[in-house]
Structure 1
Amino acid sequence: MTTTARPRSAALRPLRGVRVLSLALNLPGPAALMRLRAMGATCLKVEPPPPRGAAAGTPGDPMGHYNATAYGTLHENIKVVSWDLKAERGQAALHKALARTDVLLTSFRPSALAKLGLGWKVLRARHPALSVVAIVGAPGERAEEPGHDLTYLAEAGLVTGLELPATLFADMGGALMASEAVLASALNLKATGKGSFQEVALSQAASWLALPRTWGLTQPQGAVGGAHAGYRIYACRDGRVAVAALEPHFATALCQVAGWPVKGPTTLLQPETRSALAAFFQERTCAQLNRLAREHDIPLHTLAAPRQR
């Protein structure tokens, strides 16, 4: 019997030769820069000077203080310099670099950029081929409003209880949108020879991620919100199991293993089916469920029991 090797994904580098300079701090900007570096861009990060009295080499980005591991990962293979943009020397260094930069990535409020002489109109006049991707909290006139990932998720309806979200969805979604905007800027520059301005709002990233919930898909009555018995999290004897048997053949296999008859397409939407599967999982260990999943081709993932607070 011969087998055909699966092709390996090629490491595409569509931004090879594109030069990106970032002034963006904290998470969304650096996360975008990490993605851009992976796509082949030449990346330079400009940070403000570290706080007075800080040890030599201390990052000027707050991320470097509250999570050194994250900071190190985000800035791997990226050149980082420390320039005081409020000083003449720092401004001179910045504009010298911008003269050979294709895309400037920022995350300051518009008023802060204006104070530094880095508003779009000023930059366009001084560097006609430069594109700007501006990461802001909210779009348009709301760009001056204070906010963070949690407030944007709350506004989008993604905070449903007292628990904090499992990750920083708006920040990371915004980072992806920002890297997408840089790609668009590079394509536009190649086509027109002119720079462009694009605004990426974290609140809009949160709204984009919230669309499945807005459509009702992840609401409690939605198929992937808990109504479908094959797409839920159940307790098992020594932990939990995340089941994703959504397609009919997976759902049928799950019910057959559990000894529950499938009488039609609505079987998996019935409360009694959820109850039957809950009882089935409750009696089995994670190891037993993992074995059943392998033997019957059922998509599930076992988890430890949640830690008590």
Structure 2
Amino acid sequence: MATTSPSRSRSLPLRGVRIVSLALNLPGPAALMRLRELGARCLKVEPPGPGTTAAGRPIPGDPMGQYDVGAYTVMHEGIRIVTLNLKDEQGRAQLAKELAVADVLLTSFRPSALAKLGLGWRRLHRSYPQLSVVQIVGALGERAEEPGHDLTYLAEAGLVIGTELPPTLLADMAGALMASEAVLACVLQSRVIGKGKRRQVALADAAQWLALPRTWGLTLPSGAVGGAHAGYRVYPCRDGRVAMAALEPHFARALFAVAGLPPPDVRAPFAPQSHQAIATWVLGKTCSQLDELAVEHDIPLYTLPH
């Protein structure tokens, strides 16, 4: 693992902040990865795993470490991991020692599960006044007990089109960013008031946040970045595809010029004939030719092979 230079270490905003995480699967560990990069000292508490591998190594208690070891390894680089059974007295006692010197507790359990473990906010705040708590939940309020996953939250937000799975775990990753943001907010607030704060981050809200451009109509087929603008589309070319992003007027003018079209007014990029002309022009070019034209004429595009 690469070491951090002294000058960079001094500039890290969470240097000296201690974070204990009970959060499993993707959003919590991804948030913890971000927080470690910001300088936090991170401890991950996992339940006992289901046994050992064929090589005799313990299987992680976090399901992510069971179904994708590669992702698990990347997210936990530089993070201390301890195995505790929080259902027995010894495990709870060890966790209590860690919380006594921690600044933030990150969780992803349902509220009822936290209460059963004695980790409800009121009890924690009474026992550890300095401790802030960031809770990652599926949804806020009464829906916090509902089961859900990235796919269900994206579907609810209108981000699942047809029967294809989304290309990445958008709600989980956006939720991880929102959780790291919540940790930063708690740290700032606690430094001012001298007490820990609690914040909840809902994955359903993260999906809804990502869906706002679609809600506004921007990414609908009739929207400028949904396919209605001829300069902002994915076109087939001779040996692949090109993601064309000539949206702003000066980029659109450059695209129209190299495609042999008259300088466009505001309405021209939305005209069917413009779409057809640019599609025909792009189809006659190779990826390398388009890459060269992009550099020469300052056109934002990215070529993709078949």
TM range (shorter): over 0.9
2:3 maps to 1:31 = no
2:84 maps to 1:108 = no
Instruction: Give deviations 1:181-211, integer Å, cap 9, x for gaps.
Output: 0000000110001111110000000000100
Corresponding residue number in structure 2 for 1:15: 14
Contact residue 131 and residue 197 of structure 2 kept, 8 A: yes
Q: Describe the SS at the equivalent of 1:80.
A: strand
Q: CA deviation at 1:161?
A: 1.4
Q: CA deviation at 1:262?
A: 2.5
Q: Which amino acid aligns with 1:21?
A: V
> How many residues are matched?
297
Q: Which amino acid aligns with 2:147?
A: P
Q: Which amino acid aligns with 1:100?
A: V
Structure 1 residues 36 and 93, CA gap change in structure 2 (3 angstroms): same
Q: How does 1:128-277 map to 2 (within 5 A)?
A: 128-277=129-278
Please give the alpha-carbon distance, in whole angstroms, between the structure 1 residues aligned to 2:250 and 2:21: 48
Please give the alpha-carbon distance, in whole angstroms, between the structure 2 residues aligned to 1:248 and 1:45: 49
Contact residue 49 and residue 60 of structure 2 kept, 8 A: yes
Corresponding residue number in structure 2 for 1:121: 122
Structure 1 residues 71 and 236, CA gap change in structure 2 (3 angstroms): same
Instruction: Give deviations 1:84-139, integer Å, cap 9, x for gaps.
Output: 00011000000011000010000000111111111111111111111100000011
Corresponding residue number in structure 1 for 2:45: 46
2:295 maps to 1:294 = yes
Q: How does 1:280-291 map to 2 (within 5 A)?
A: 280-291=281-292
Q: Which amino acid aligns with 1:48?
A: P
Which structure 1 segments of 5+ residues have no match? Answer: 1-8
Contact residue 22 and residue 44 of structure 1 kept, 8 A: yes
Contact residue 12 and residue 39 of structure 1 kept, 8 A: no
Q: CA deviation at 1:57?
A: 2.8
Structure 1 residues 236 and 194, CA gap change in structure 2 (3 angstroms): same
Share of identical aligned residues, percent? 65
Q: CA deviation at 1:216?
A: 0.5
Range with greater deviation from structure 2 (55-64 or 192-201): 55-64
Instruction: Give deviations 1:11-67, integer Å, cap 9, x for gaps.
Output: 941111111000000000000000000001110000001114654432111111111
Please give the alpha-carbon distance, in whole angstroms, between the structure 1 residues aligned to 2:199 and 2:186: 8
Q: Which amino acid aligns with 1:286?
A: C
Q: CA deviation at 1:284?
A: 1.1
Please give the alpha-carbon distance, in whole angstroms, between the structure 2 residues aligned to 1:36 and 1:52: 30
What root-mean-square deviation, in Å, do the aligned CA atoms of Structure 1 and Structure 2 show?
Answer: 1.4
Taking structure 1 as the reference length, what is the TM-score of the superposition?
0.94
Instruction: Give deviations 1:164-197, integer Å, cap 9, x for gaps.
Output: 1110000000000000000000001100011111
Taking structure 2 as the reference length, what is the TM-score of the superposition?
0.95
Corresponding residue number in structure 2 for 1:78: 79
Range with greater deviation from structure 2 (32-41 or 53-62): 53-62
Q: Which amino acid aligns with 2:73?
A: G
